Amino acid sequence: MLELIHKIRRRLVGRMLLFVVLPTLLIFALVIYLSSLASFKNLRQSEEEYIQLQARVVATQIEDLNASAVISAQRMADAQVAGMFGDREASIEYARIVLENFDGITGAYFGYEPNADGQDSESLGKLPTEAMDPNGRFIPYWFVDSTKGRTTSLEPLVDMESSLYYNGAKKDFEKTGKPAYKVTEPYVYQGKMITEQVYPIVIDGQFKGVAGVDFALADIDTMLRRIAKSEEFDIFLISANGNFIAASLDPVDGELDVSNERLLTRNVEDIQAAELFVRLMKDKNMNAPLLEVDPSEGEKYYFAAARVPVGNWTVVVRKPESIVLAPIWAQLRSRLIFALSGIFLIIALLLAMTVRLARRVNEAVEAAKRIAAGDLTGELEFAAPEECVDETGVLLHSIGNMTVNLNRLVGNVKQASIQLNSTATELSATSHQQKATASSFGSSANQIAAATKQISSTNTELLGTMENVSQVAVGTAELATAGRSGLQNMEESMRDLDKATGSIGEKLAVINDKASNITGVVSTITKVADQTNLLSVNAAIEAEKAGEYGVGFLVVAREIRRLADQTSAATLDIEQMVRQMLSAVSAGVMEMDRFTDHVRRNVKDVATISQQMSDIIEQVNSNTQQFESVNESMQSQAQGAEQISSAMGQLTAHAAQSSDAIHEYSRAADDLQQAIESLKSSIASFQLKS
């Protein structure tokens, strides 16, 4: 199996089947499965909703029939309340008219309470006895007598106090105090299934009796059988007490006979599916059908229930799952057939495309094999360029063009190889000549390069010496310039010093004059002190004369005398200091005069030295410029020598490169000859068209 798969995978058709057709088939199958599953769920849900809807429709139709009977009973009661109550003859006639004019009604009646209208005794002998009991109680009952050819008959009501149609309605009114209709449990009467709809007659809040009709369920049974036949399901109508009112699967035998084979009048608890029907009756929502197995038949059915409010009946619709699913499976089968047809069509188209593609690819492979083997004589059949609408057509067309172009190319290569062979021979001879010339040129260039290097080395040493001399001259010039600047600064300082000494002499003369003035002032102060001392002596004498009155003045005179003595002593000290200062100032003036003369002589010497330093600087600067000129010439010569040496080095390198290139050129010529020979041998394997 694996070997077969490997063989299939090695072929283009097999790979297309494995990687295109098979995945496409699987994807379509998955899509079909998922869509079918979703469709099945949706269709089944739709069918379930349809079954539930049918149950509700049937319940609505039964509701309408029951409601019409209830309305008839209510109108009869309303007529009594409106004024007919007590008019017994009119009431009898009204009940007969209701019976004859409403379909489905098999009986119509009134039932008064004993002597409710106060006419029981009066009515005896006046009204038909069939409308009263022996006491004259008004209880007329009109019914359809099937034994007399569906004629109407009149008879009194029976079992009033014990039956639901009268006693039940009476008790309901007594409980609530409000009139309300009453639907009795269905029963078989004269071979017919009937139910009674009654309405209480209430006048001034008092219960006076009932008005009612008997409603035959034959019409409901016929309707249910018709619906069940057309919709292919079974319908069960169950009363509030759980008794079967109608069943579409019961046989139709004319007159009803209650037997164990029939469901009619049987209670749901007496059948095998009792639990299922009880659950349906108790279900208050009734929104979705149930899928259950019917124990009596062992087959799955959908059961849907709906409530009939009038009478509190329950409608149960039963439909086999096989019938529900039959149209769904048919629809899915049609979809599946359509999908499979599409898949087969797609597979056929893919196979056709694959076979056509494989045929063209095989043609291209065969052409490529012939070209690989060197056979360019074959012709490949292909369509015109404008007809190559797909990739394979373009590929075949391109291979055909490639074959033609290769045939032309190989022919041109053969002719070019002959010319290349002669050219390669000439290139080889020329390379050997150039090789000898390059060797001779290389030796000469090496000699020139050695001489140039020696010249460059000598120039470099000389250039270094000149640079040292130039640097020394520059340093000397800088030092001389600095010395001249210092001498100029010194000359200016000496001149400033000369000016300062002159100024100091002048200031000392001024100080001498001021000191002389101070001496005069001190003499004046001394005289004042002597006079003050004399005055204080006189004041003391006068104070002595005054006695005790002059004691205070005597103290003042003594203090003045003491101050005059201190002043005299101070003036003596000041005079001595001034004299010392005068002698010092006189000596300073003399020394300053001598220092000034010395400074002036030094200024003249500094000026002479500064002039000499200027001459030296000019001479050094002149030599420095000459050194710089020589240095620049030496630098130019050294640069030229270096350039010559560099050029000779490059020339030598180029000569070496040229020699290497000539070697490579010679080797390339040899390789070219070998390649031409190999090309000839390779081209020889191609077979060209003539």
Which segments of 236-320 does DSSP mark as H helices, in order? 274-282
Report the candidate in 497, 501, 500, 481 with the shortest Cα–Cα distance to residue 603.
Answer: 497
CB 225, CB 237: distance < 8 Å: no
Count H helices and E strands in the chain, helices first.
Answer: 11, 12
Instruction: Say how far apart CA 121 and CA 137 lie, in whole Å.
Output: 8
CB 214, CB 196: distance < 8 Å: yes
Q: Are strands 140-145 and 105-112 parallel, antiparallel or unpaired?
A: antiparallel
End-to-end Cα, the chain, rounded Å: 51
Average pLDDT of the residues of the chain? 78
Q: Give pLDDT, residue 596.
A: 73
Which segments of 212-306 does DSSP mark as H helices, in order? 218-231, 274-282
The dihedral through the CA atoms of 169, 172, 177, 178 has a sign that is negative
- 611-670: pLDDT as tens digits: 777 777 777 667 666 667 766 766 776 676 677 667 667 766 766 676 676 677 667 767
Backbone angles phi and psi of 329, in degrees to 5: -65, -35
Report the candidate in 468, 467, 477 with the shortest Cα–Cα distance to residue 620.
Answer: 477
Q: What is the DSSP letter of 113?
A: P
Q: What Å distances lie between residue 620 and 391, 476, 478, 480, CA to CA?
A: 97, 7, 9, 9
620 CB contacts (<8 Å, ≥6 apart)? 473, 476, 477, 480
Q: Which of 251-259's residues contact partners 24+ apart within 8 Å by CB, and which partners?
A: 252/225, 255/191, 256/188, 256/191, 256/192, 256/193, 258/188
Q: Give pLDDT, residue 53.
A: 93
Mean pLDDT check: name the lowest of 151-160, 373-382, 595-604. 373-382
18 CB contacts (<8 Å, ≥6 apart)? 5, 8, 9
Residue with tokens 């200062």: 581
Instruction: Say how far apart CA 57 and CA 223 lie, in whole Å.
Output: 12
CA dihedral 618, 619, 625, 626 (to 10 degrees): 160
Q: What burial class does residue 373 get, using C-beta atoms within 10 Å of its C-beta: 0-12 exposed, 13-18 middle, 19+ buried?
A: exposed
Instruction: Say how far apart CA 295 and CA 35 lie, in whole Å.
Output: 35
The dihedral through the CA atoms of 517, 519, 522, 523 has a sign that is negative
CB 491, CB 606: distance < 8 Å: yes
For residue 394, pLDDT beyond 80: no
Q: What is the DSSP letter of 310?
A: T
Q: Give pLDDT, residue 255.
A: 47
Q: What is the DSSP letter of 184?
A: P
Q: Give pLDDT, residue 437.
A: 64
601: pLDDT confidence band, cut at 50, 70 and 90?
Answer: confident
- 34-58: pLDDT as tens digits: 888 888 888 888 988 999 999 999 9
User: Average pLDDT, stretch 522-547?
Assistant: 79
Residue ranges per domain, the chain? Answer: 60-321, 395-683
Mean pLDDT check: name the lowest of 180-184, 321-325, 609-613. 609-613
CA dihedral 607, 609, 613, 616 (to 10 degrees): 130
CB 149, CB 142: distance < 8 Å: no
For residue 676, pLDDT beyond 90: no
Q: Listing from the earlier edge strand, what are the strands of the sheet with 290-294?
A: 244-247, 234-238, 313-320, 299-308, 290-294
Q: Give pLDDT, residue 154.
A: 93
467 CB contacts (<8 Å, ≥6 apart)? 631
Instruction: Say how far apart CA 629 and CA 394 lie, in whole Å.
Output: 84
Instruction: Say how far apart CA 291 and CA 486 lie, in whole Å.
Output: 133
Q: Give pLDDT, residue 210.
A: 96
Q: Give pLDDT, residue 155.
A: 92
Percent of the chain with pLDDT over 90: 20
CB 126, CB 140: distance < 8 Å: no
CB 689, CB 377: distance < 8 Å: yes
CB 407, CB 380: distance < 8 Å: no
Q: Which CATH number is 60-321's, of 1.10.340.30, 3.30.450.20, 1.10.10.1100, 3.40.50.1220?
A: 3.30.450.20
Q: Give pLDDT, residue 534.
A: 83
| pTM: predicted TM-score of the whole model, two decimal places | 0.50
570: pLDDT confidence band, cut at 50, 70 and 90?
Answer: confident
DSSP line for 14-64: HHHIIIIIHHHHHHHHHHHHHHHHHHHHHHHHHHHHHHHHHHHHHHHHHHH
Q: What Å distances lie between residue 305 and 48, 234, 313, 628, CA to CA?
A: 12, 12, 10, 132
Backbone angles phi and psi of 153, in degrees to 5: -130, 160
CA dihedral 409, 410, 416, 420 (to 10 degrees): 130
93: pLDDT confidence band, cut at 50, 70 and 90?
Answer: very high
- 267-315: pLDDT as tens digits: 888 888 888 888 888 887 778 888 888 887 888 999 999 999 988 899 9
Mean pLDDT check: name the lowest of 144-153, 296-305, 384-393. 384-393
CB 244, CB 236: distance < 8 Å: yes
- 333-366: pLDDT as tens digits: 888 888 888 878 887 887 777 777 777 777 777 7
User: Average pLDDT, stretch 408-429?
Assistant: 68
